[in-house]
Every structure is written in C-alpha cells, then in structure tokens.
Amino acid sequence: MIMVKSIVRTDNWNLNPSSEDKFCLQATVNEYRAFCKALSYVILGHWVKLQNVNSKCVAIEKLIHQTKKNSAPKHKYFVKRFWKFPSYLRRAAIEFAWGQVSSYLTRYRTWQSGIRKRKDVKPPVFNPTANCYPALYGGNLIRFDSDYSTVKIKVWNGSDWIWSTIEIASKRRRHLTGKRLSPYLVISKTKCHLAVPFKIKPIAIKGETVCAIDVGINTLATAVIAV
C-alpha cells in the first residue's frame, strides 16, 4: 500500500462582478501582464549575474523597486510606470518572468547544441508576451468572507489599487475539508473566475509507483508521484 503525502487539486470558483468590477478585474490582469513583460527583459539582460545571487527575488527587486535603502534602482521605468504596484504581486511576477526567461534560454541552448527537428530550424525567439494570470496571496491581495459568499480582491482601477468586493457565484466543496492555497484570477471575454488550489487529505493507493497529473487550461497544472 502506498500513501500519498499530499495532493493539490484546483477548483474554479465563478465570480459575479458588476460591470465596474469586471473592468477593474480585466485592468488588473492587463497591468500584471504588462509588468511581467517589462520584467522579463530585465531578467534576460541580467541573467548571468543573477545566477550567483543568494535570492533572485531580492536581487531583481533591487534592480526595479525604489525604497529608502535602494533610492536609485537601475531600471527606474518600473517606479514611474507601475505606481504603487503591490509587493506580493510583484513577487509573483518575478517568479513567473523568471520561468519564462529560463524556458527560453533552455530552448535556445538546445537549438544551439544542434538538437533540432530539421537542420534549417530557426532559433527560438524571445517572446515576453504571455497570457498569464496573477496569483493572489491571502490577506495581501485577496480576502474571503466567513461563508465564502463574497471575496475582496485588490484590483487596479486605472489610477490606483483598491479593494473590490465581488460575489462568488458558484464553488465546489473542497474548501470544507482541504487547505486552501493562493488562487489565481482568471478572466475571459465571457466570465471571471478564481482558480483555487486545495491541498487535500492523503489517500491510500495499492500497487506500484504511481504518477498522477492534473493538467488544467488557464489553471494550475498539478503533478504528484507516489512511491
């Protein structure tokens, strides 16, 4: 018998925003994507130096974020363009952009080494534009009410970051038994929802080593290996 220590599953919680709230939610996603795009260029340009730092998050923030101790960041564009950008959203963007740059460089090194489907295949092109969605860290970017009927989300209204209270239209029941992790805000032309991951209780599995993968579309992809 094999015991799986933990499994993470993602539920989609549909939101019912007003027209004003939906505008802010879409503006929030757009602002996050613009930040990730600009950040990707910074990470790519400093990639070699960033390999030797103790904390990539601290090192990258020093390049773009102005504080009393860091009064003159090298890339002042972020201070002017992304005014009051939330710190937790900035750190989520750093993780995402780092993965984007790392993926591109891995593919480029593979091409450079001669591993190609055809001899005339062109090298991969760096494309920082991605349909990514912001991760909402609890307390700082998202707050659920006690019965999960509404949620407060920190959103960009075009001029400032504000708290917006939105009705939760539908949800599953994993929040009653599982441990809720940081959700993602997902927006489409027709609806808005939260992709909410939950760490659920271990289960017993009979048999050999098992690998399970839950691949979501515009949600978290989760994999677990039981040995």
State phi, psi for 44 to the nearest 5 degrees.
Answer: -60, -40
Helix 87-112 and helix 56-64, axial crossing angle in degrees, nearest 10: 110
Q: Look-up: residue for tokens 């991605």?
A: 130
Within 10 A of 41 (CB to CB), how many other CB atoms are there?
Answer: 15
Residue 29 amino acid letter:
V
- Burial of residue 126, with CB atoms counted within 10 A of its CB: 0-12 exposed, 13-18 middle, 19 or more buried: middle
Residue ranges, the chain, pLDDT below 70: 1-5, 202-210, 214-227
Domain ranges of the chain: 2-226
Q: Provide the token pair at 50.
A: 């960033």
Nearest CA among 200, 94, 185 for reference residue 137: 185
How far apart, in whole angstroms, are the C-alpha atoms of residue 142 and residue 165? 10
Longest CA span, the chain: 60
State phi, psi for 150 to the nearest 5 degrees.
Answer: -135, 165
- Burial of residue 65, with CB atoms counted within 10 A of its CB: 0-12 exposed, 13-18 middle, 19 or more buried: middle
Which pLDDT score is estimated for 224?
Answer: 64
DSSP string, 71-116: -S-S-THHHHHSTT--HHHHHHHHHHHHHHHHHHHHHHHHHHTT--
Residues 225 and 214 sit within 8 Å (Cβ to Cβ) = no
Which pLDDT score is estimated for 38?
Answer: 97
Which pLDDT score is estimated for 34?
Answer: 97
Q: Provide the token pair at 102.
A: 């790392």
